[in-house]
Amino acid sequence: MAEKIPTFTTKKCYECFTHLPLDAEVCPSCKKKVGKVNKIGVAEKPTDWKGYVICLLIWIGLGIFIWKGFF
């Protein structure tokens, strides 16, 4: 039995649950970036790649600092 995929005409912001058009990229109420609509009608939270890269660089820097400073 095939699962029926619902179609939506709007999506809800993941932060404040305001109804938004499907092509909206920013919520006008809370100013958060929103992604594509998921299977329950709520916009997905976009991945913060910049934050992940900064965190990775900090961990690498800490590793180099410990290696150079103590070994």
Residue 2 counted as domain residue: no
**In percent, how much of the chain has pLDDT > 90?**
83
End-to-end CA distance of the chain: 62
Total domain count, the chain: 1
Instruction: Print the domain residue range for 51.
Output: 10-70
Whole-model pTM? 0.66
Which pLDDT band holds residue 4 (cuts at 50, 70, 90)? Answer: confident
The token pair that represents 36 in the structure block: 């594509």
Residue 5 counted as domain residue: no
Residue 1 counted as domain residue: no
- Residue ranges in 1-71 assigned as alpha helix (H): 49-70
